[in-house]
């Protein structure tokens, strides 16, 4: 908990944490505790949600808003960093509860928020209807009149605070990041990778890239990281999971691990999918040992099971598009 926040923190729900500068981290409950975050930014009585989790996160988001004494019509914007369902699956239902809000989405993802049928069909083909209903619920469309596309270098005001949007492909082509000048931090979605608190050592974070299908592009990702660093950020707000600092160190690690993942994928021939799952795990374990983490590799494999599978799928899709 941030020093000086104790009085405020006592009024917050258990799943919500005050990070300072009017920013609140909300554990959406998706997957497991401390896996998927949404953020509520408050300035001068106005508010914005950045990422929304799934439909099942919406009660938690509204509870956090109420705990801060804010009416639902105080929310001006709902801003998914991209349209993957763990970030934007709940956006339509959330918008239904926020009468004055506008959805701000990357232009490549906007149509999927207005008409989520293709998004739903694609995800159902991968996960199956039963898992989709259990994990995400039915996607709710956002009225076109209440949705707008972001633009690269767009500015948007929340209260007295001017947020900056930049286009950040690499994880997905429909991804943007949002700069908060008050905290000098980026709401980075998945562009700045995954960083789980179980892997912290003496309060220092570790991170790995996410190559989720189907639009992983390693060179674009590294270019996006470089662009984020150009602002000299003091912190990153990650969806998976939470606030991290020591940004240059983590960015260098993400560059290194991205290159190692690509090299492993390029070298894999027989049993390609299993190798692209197994060998990055060994690379992550080696990196974590250097970080000082003593978690056994078997426990690491369990913690990262979903990420290892999705990263392998994304690397395979990228290989098919970019053969030697």
Topology at the third CATH level for domain 6-204+214-245: Metallo-beta-lactamase; Chain A (3.60.15)
Residue-wise DSSP of 262-307: HHHHHH-BTBHHHHHHHHHHHHHHHHHHHHT----HHHHHHHTHHH
pLDDT at 124: 85
pLDDT at 3: 36
Considering just the CA atoms, what is the radius of gyration of the chain in Å? Answer: 19
Residue 32 backbone phi and psi in degrees, to 5: -165, 165
The ranges assigned to domains in the chain are: 6-204+214-245
pLDDT at 10: 53
Q: Which two tokens stand for residue 92?
A: 């339509």
pLDDT at 226: 98
CA-nearest of 237, 215, 240 to 87 is: 240
pLDDT at 4: 36
Residues forming a β-bridge with 162: 157
pLDDT below 50 — which residues of the chain?
A: 1-7, 9
CA-nearest of 85, 79, 88 to 149 is: 79
pLDDT at 128: 85
Q: Which two tokens stand for residue 163?
A: 């947020």
> To which residue do tokens 């300035």 refer?
43
Predicted TM-score (pTM) of the model is 0.94
Rounded-to-integer distance, Cα 301 and Cα 17, Å = 28
pLDDT at 126: 73
- Geometric angle at alpha carbon 47, from 46 and 48, rounded to 5°: 145
Q: Do strands 37-43 and 46-50 pair parallel, antiparallel, or not at all (unpaired)? A: antiparallel
pLDDT at 8: 53
B/e letters for 99-122, b = 16+ CB within 10 Å, e = fewer, are eebbbbbbebbbbbbbebeebbee
pLDDT at 5: 43
pLDDT at 298: 94
pLDDT at 324: 73
Q: Which two tokens stand for residue 224?
A: 């996006």
């Amino acid at each position: 908990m941030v020093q000086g926040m104790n009085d405020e923190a006592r009024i917050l729900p258990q799943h919500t944490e005050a990070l300072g500068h009017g920013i609140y981290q909300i554990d959406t409950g998706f997957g497991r505790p401390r896996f998927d975050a949404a953020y509520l930014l408050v300035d001068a009585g106005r508010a914005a949600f950045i990422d929304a989790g799934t439909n099942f996160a919406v009660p938690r988001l509204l509870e956090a808003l109420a705990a801060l004494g804010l009416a639902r019509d105080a929310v001006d914007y709902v801003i998914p960093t991209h349209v993957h369902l763990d970030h934007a699956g709940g956006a339509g239902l959330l918008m239904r509860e926020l009468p004055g809000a506008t959805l701000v989405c990357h232009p490549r993802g906007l149509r999927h928020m207005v008409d989520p049928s293709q998004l739903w069909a694609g995800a159902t083909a991968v996960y199956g209807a039963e898992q989709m209903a259990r994990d995400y619920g039915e996607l709710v469309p956002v009225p076109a009149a209440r949705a707008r596309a972001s633009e690269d270098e767009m500015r948007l005001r929340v209260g007295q605070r001017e947020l900056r949007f930049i286009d950040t492909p690499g994880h997905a082509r429909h991804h943007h990041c949002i700069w908060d000048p008050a905290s000098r931090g980026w709401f980075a979605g998945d562009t700045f990778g995954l960083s789980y608190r179980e892997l912290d050592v003496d309060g220092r974070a570790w991170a790995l890239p996410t190559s989720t299908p189907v639009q992983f592009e390693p060179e674009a990702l590294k270019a996006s990281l470089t662009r984020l660093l150009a602002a000299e950020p003091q912190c990153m707000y990650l969806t998976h999971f939470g606030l991290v600092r020591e940004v240059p160190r983590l960015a260098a690690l993400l560059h290194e691990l991205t290159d190692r993942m690509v090299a492993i994928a390029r070298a894999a021939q027989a049993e390609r999918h299993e190798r692209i799952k197994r060998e990055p795990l060994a690379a992550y374990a080696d990196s974590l040992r250097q970080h000082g983490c003593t978690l056994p590799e078997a426990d690491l494999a369990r913690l990262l099971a979903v990420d290892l599978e999705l990263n392998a799928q994304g690397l395979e899709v990228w290989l098919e598009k970019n053969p030697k």
